[in-house]
């Protein structure tokens, strides 16, 4: 018996030494991971520990990090222990092609392959880079680019009888769309493009660097176009409302002057386009790259080598999900039918009734923002 106990103790000691050796070989380091995912079926990016009812992208990610041996199990239960931070919080149903998370992990061999082996195919880690010890992906991010993919019949004038699948966007309408989207560039008070922010709240002012609609293309018999927007940060629903208002103007429901009016203090009824189609394209770290990108110890946070993998992932998982869901659930067509109930001429009068009606329309929560105020 004594020999048996002694053998067990020696084995346990040897196992602990092996684990220690393994940890010494792969000490914890601060890194960033480049993530792509299709958000359909998930309640957003951010994990809610203790709430297994709503599955999130981070639930699957943390599970893969533990199973691959990158982090100990207790770090999965308390994410602060690995200094985990996401760059932008995407909400229910929203996808990402270039999400960035920062965390401390053990740099094990073949780390990307091992993590991906424990992830479903619609979530991929496409890249990894070492960063400074105090790096925080949310705070160090100085701009975010989102795209919004929509069927072009959304821009057909309300007085024209439109066959959705045969509609094609003409040059003149595309130019009008781009003229309106360009109005958003610069710093404006976007209090009318989110909820729970008053006109005098300083945080309602946001800086938009660029916003435009690209050339249309046909998929599965329907013509689509992609709107790109780059800004420092976005409030909850801001991008969807910016696009919703442009659609309302192009369709002939609202006057062009409403954009200018929305910057003012009065409450303006701004419709919110569906969440389907919204994708976090990339996040930008220009200031960090200038300071640390060429210091000889760290790489700049740019992903030129991963561009092809990102493009392949979008074609395999993100675009088909948007296209097929639009065909089956007709979220854009259903939402367009609600535009006539909005009152674009009045200010606060009748707003409550319109808001109540618009809440009843089909609505996937889209993430237009980062942690600070998209809740």
Domain ranges (residues) in the chain: 28-140, 143-284+305-346
pLDDT at residue 359, rounded to an integer:
43
User: Which residues neighbour 238 within 8 Å (Cβ) at sequence distance 6 or greater?
Assistant: 190, 193, 194, 206, 368, 369
pLDDT average, residue stretch 28-57: 88
Neighbouring C-beta atoms of residue 19, cutoff 10 Å = 10
Higher pLDDT, 358 or 254: 254
Query: 143-284+305-346 is classed in which CATH architecture?
Result: 2-Layer Sandwich (3.30)
Rounded Cα distance between 64 and 78, Å, is: 15
Residue 297 has pLDDT above 60, yes or no: yes
> Could you tell me whether strands 205-213 and 95-106 are parallel, antiparallel, or unpaired per DSSP bridges?
unpaired
227 forms beta bridges with: 148, 213
The mean-pLDDT minimum among 70-84, 104-118, 136-150, 331-345 falls in 70-84
pLDDT in tens, 181-222: 999 999 999 999 998 899 999 999 999 999 999 999 999 999
Rounded Cα distance between 276 and 40, Å, is: 9
Distances (CA, A) of 248 to 3, 57, 154, 322: 82, 33, 9, 22
Neighbouring C-beta atoms of residue 354, cutoff 10 Å = 17
Higher pLDDT, 133 or 362: 133
Residue 350 has pLDDT above 70, yes or no: no
pLDDT at residue 90, rounded to an integer:
85
pLDDT at residue 356, rounded to an integer:
44
Residue 357 has pLDDT above 70, yes or no: no
* 3.30.70.580, 3.50.50.60, 3.60.15.10, 3.90.1150.10: CATH of 28-140: 3.30.70.580
pLDDT at residue 54, rounded to an integer:
86
Same fold: 28-140 with 143-284+305-346: yes
Residue 168 has pLDDT above 60, yes or no: yes
**Which residue stretches of 148-304 are H helix?**
171-182, 238-250, 257-262, 286-292
Q: How many CA atoms lie within 13 A of 160 on its CB side?
A: 13
Confirm or deny that 146 is annotated as ligand binding: yes
Can you state the angle between helices 238-250 and 171-182, rounded to 10 degrees? Answer: 140
pLDDT at residue 10, rounded to an integer:
61
Residue 342 has pLDDT above 50, yes or no: yes
pLDDT average, residue stretch 66-73: 93
Mean pLDDT of the chain: 87
Higher pLDDT, 339 or 12: 339
pLDDT average, residue stretch 224-244: 95
User: Could you tell me the pLDDT band of residue 362, with boundaries at 50, 70 and 90?
Assistant: very low
pLDDT average, residue stretch 295-307: 90
Residue 14 has pLDDT above 60, yes or no: no
Q: Which residues are catalytic?
A: 91
User: Could you tell me the pLDDT band of residue 351, with boundaries at 50, 70 and 90?
Assistant: very low
User: Could you tell me the pLDDT band of residue 52, with boundaries at 50, 70 and 90?
Assistant: low
b/e map 301-323, b = 16+ CB within 10 Å: bebeebeebbeebbeebbbebbb
């Amino acid at each position: 018996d004594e020999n048996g106990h002694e053998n067990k103790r020696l084995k346990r000691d040897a196992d602990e030494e092996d684990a220690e050796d393994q940890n010494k070989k792969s000490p914890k380091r601060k890194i960033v991971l480049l993530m792509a995912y299709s958000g359909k079926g998930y309640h957003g990016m951010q994990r809610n520990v203790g709430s297994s009812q709503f599955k999130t992208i981070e639930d699957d990610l943390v599970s893969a990090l533990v199973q691959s041996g990158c982090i100990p199990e207790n770090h999965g239960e308390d994410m602060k222990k690995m200094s985990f931070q996401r760059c932008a919080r995407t909400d229910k149903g929203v996808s990402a092609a270039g999400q960035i998370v920062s965390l401390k992990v053990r740099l094990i061999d073949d780390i990307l392959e091992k993590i991906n082996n424990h992830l479903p195919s619609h979530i991929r880690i496409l890249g990894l880079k070492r960063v400074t010890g105090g790096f925080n992906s949310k705070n160090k991010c100085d701009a975010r680019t989102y795209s919004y993919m929509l069927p072009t019949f959304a821009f057909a004038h309300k007085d024209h009888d439109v066959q959705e699948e045969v509609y094609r966007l003409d040059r003149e309408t595309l130019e009008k769309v781009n003229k309106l989207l360009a109005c958003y560039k610069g710093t404006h008070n976007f209090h009318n493009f989110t909820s729970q922010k008053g006109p005098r709240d300083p945080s309602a002012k946001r800086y938009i660097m660029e916003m435009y609609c690209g050339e249309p293309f046909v998929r599965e018999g329907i013509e689509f176009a992609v709107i790109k927007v780059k800004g420092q940060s976005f409030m909850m629903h801001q991008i969807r409302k910016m696009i919703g208002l442009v659609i309302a103007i192009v369709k002939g429901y609202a006057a062009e002057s409403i954009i200018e009016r929305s910057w003012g203090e009065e409450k303006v009824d701004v419709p919110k386009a569906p969440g389907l189609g919204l994708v976090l394209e990339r996040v930008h770290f220009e200031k960090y790259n200038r300071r640390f990108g060429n210091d000889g110890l760290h790489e700049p946070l740019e992903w030129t080598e991963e561009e092809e993998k990102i493009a392949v992932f979008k074609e395999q998982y993100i675009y088909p999900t948007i296209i097929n869901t639009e065909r089956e659930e007709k979220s854009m067509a259903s939402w367009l039918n609600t535009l006539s109930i909005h009152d674009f001429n009045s200010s606060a009068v009748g707003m409550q009734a319109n808001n109540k009606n618009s809440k009843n329309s089909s609505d996937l929560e889209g993430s237009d923002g980062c942690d600070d105020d998209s809740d």
